[in-house]
A and B are shown apart, each in its own frame.
Chain A
């Protein structure tokens, strides 16, 4: 009875729950890395640090340089974060994909490998 229960779960709800679990993990990872927010604000100044100037040409030029630096810092930090998120999500995505594909073969492969090993 338990053996049937195990096998029936493995090839039905177990398999679908792996897919659901990987999807949920990817969503949480995306939320933890604020991927949406990072993309929306990719070119925004770092911590909204901006200088405004209506003074002389040199002052305005200096403000413009400061703001560009702020945006560059923001872009750099966000790109790093996006890169880290991408690597993590890629790892989970690939690993999850392999797991989903390999899932139906795990018990069968286990049994085959045992027989193969013993028969050698």
Chain B
């Protein structure tokens, strides 16, 4: 702990106060006047005017004054931490001007709050300045404690100065009441420290000079490259035009390794990493480092150009053109002597992927010649393929494997990149950056970080809250891209959720227990109470055929996800062999309509595993992982998330048992537990599988009056079909009863009813329309006689 002291009599304080009051134009005018007096004085002395030396003398005094004002007063830089314990030397001049040793916390806050650095932090973290000021009233920490804490914060944030940002965070940490304000804005102290680092990087960038990239003679020593210029993107020129690479380069070790490899005799390097992991960013980092001359002689001031397979293909007119163009490009790169050629997405040059050309045979002698520097970028899969298909070429390349950066590094990169993206038109909050990190990890498992987080952040700029990019902007971007619901439920949606049972019963008869269990689970999930690392809900529906198990799944898809087609249905009788696992876990390239590609396309879905008892036990073991961790991994080792899905498994196991209990007049609740134990002891299901479902839901068989209600729903559907023709149909009570009698099959429940309504009601209506007895405006009322019912119940 340092013993910080403040000398209130230091001349630095008077200078700082002067600097705060002094208008810059006045100092500029003083400088101009000084030079006029000096020049005028010299001229007057030459022509020997009287009192000429007064003009020169005043000019010299004023120029020394103006220089002091400019350099020492207006551009005063504080000392770095660790060099002194004198606070008047460490504090920034804007703070020093009003600083006093006896200031209380609120007074110090009033001093720092108007600075742009404090406003940067409070606006980026959504902290109301007035509330912080109010919470600090009455607090009077010792100066030494507060400044030691600020110094520790600055040190954690890699800020070399006792900055305004560090003091702001030290003040916020003083009062637990302010800490609760952080909780309300969903941030914690460690994130505020990261904010200080963000601010420090920005201040360092603003204070830095534009780098010099080699000077006027840089390109005089290199050859012309007209063909290469036509087919390649010059990454170095892009860096030069942008005036540097502001975004912090976190991959220092990999960049060092890349430069060392290129500088050694190897000359050719392959960067291996998943899409989005930062291979292209590393190439930009290389371009920046080489332009600055921060490499050894063989690489200094080299330019990095990225050769595009698409650009080459678009210009091909005849056979042999591709080879001619590529050879021309490489020849120029060799001749120029200062080019590093990058083959970004190099698999396109080896005949892999759409729009690809196979140049591996052409590349091999060029790479073997080691006459120029080559960098390829490949995904791990493509690198493995190259190693197996072209051993000689792969053997010539030095691989550098890129792994995903840590969350801290990704957040820093996002923060710096956000400032670039804003362009002074908007403000990105810290919460938005964090949400981009979290949500991209949840919904975009095909890409690695930091690419996936950056992509989401960029897309969120179309969903700004006024000028601010907030966590809500990220949520809206996610909802727009993936068709999912991630924001808090609005009033209309909340109403649907609160009355979910009523809405489901509009299309489902009875099964009140099943409906209420499922509805309660969904309300928990939508309110954010459920475990976010597992599916929204997981249910095992048990009961006989035709009692509404699939209908409830469809209702959930329609009500919770907006449409019935938000349902992925798998008939598990098709997955009876161990070899069927491969089909279930097929990736998008093997089976685009498979389970995992579909859940990636539409993560908010009901996934229905129909007749689960028929699936192979090995497949049921996969379900354990799905229910436990909320994800499955496909054959290409890509993870697919089921965390936004509702998992429903159905089974007819024990259907007769349920029916006999119900026929004996027992309520479901009374035999539910005993029934599940019987299923386990009977070997129908393993206990570990049943235990992983949120709820095991029993469906009871429908009785005849309930089937009458099913008929009413089916007639409503018929009327919806007839609506364009302005024809309506209704049944007499006798007709409904007769239909139920004719269609009732205790083994098949309501399933035969739809076919019965088609055969009788729809046939009768069709006949009337064709005979011209029904037209627009007709209300058809059908009785038993018009239904042409069969004499016996319709067989299966």
The chain A residues found within 8 Å of chain B, CB to CB, are 1-2, 4-6, 8-10, 13-14, 17, 28, 31-35, 37-38, 40-41, 44, 46-49, 74, 77-78, 81, 106-107, 109-118, 120
Contact = CB atoms under 8 A, between A and B. Distances in A.
Interface of B: 11-12, 14-15, 18, 41, 50-65, 67-68, 71-72, 209, 212, 214-224, 301, 335-337
A119 B234 CA distance: 68
Given A8-B11, A10-B64, 14 more contacts: A6-B64, A9-B68, A34-B214, A34-B216, A37-B215, A47-B223, A48-B221, A48-B337, A81-B216, A110-B61, A113-B53, A113-B57, A114-B61, A117-B56
B216 A46 contact: no
A111 B72 CA distance: 21
Contact of B224 (A8, A14, A47): A47
B11 A2 contact: yes
B51 A118 contact: yes
A120 B216 contact: no
Nearest to B11: A5
Contacts of B60: 106-107, 109-110, 113
A81 B61 contact: no
Contacts of A17: 71
A37 B11 contact: no
B217 A33 contact: yes
Contact of A14 (B67, B222, B301): B67
B57 A117 contact: yes
Nearest to A109: B60
Nearest to A105: B60
Given A110-B57, A111-B61, A81 B217 contact: yes
A116 B52 CA distance: 10
Nearest to B300: A37
7 contacts: A9-B71, A10-B64, A37-B221, A48-B223, A49-B224, A107-B61, A110-B56
A13 B67 CA distance: 12
A49 B223 contact: yes
Contacts of B59: 110
B37 to A, nearest CB: 10
A56 B55 CA distance: 77
Given A77-B220, A117-B51, A1 B335 contact: no
* 10 residue pairs, one from A and one from B, having the closest CB atoms: A113-B57, A110-B60, A117-B54, A34-B215, A5-B11, A34-B217, A110-B61, A114-B57, A48-B223, A117-B53
Contacts of A32: 212, 215-216
Contacts of B337: 48
B11 A4 contact: yes
B214 A107 contact: no
Contacts of B53: 113-114, 116-117, 120
A113 B212 contact: no
Contacts of A6: 64-65, 68, 72
Contacts of B18: 2
Contacts of B336: 48
Given A2-B14, A116-B53, A117-B53, A48 B222 contact: yes
A5 B71 CA distance: 13
Contacts of B14: 1-2, 5
Contacts of B215: 31-35, 37
A55 to B, nearest CB: 20
B208 to A, nearest CB: 13
Contacts of A14: 67-68, 71-72
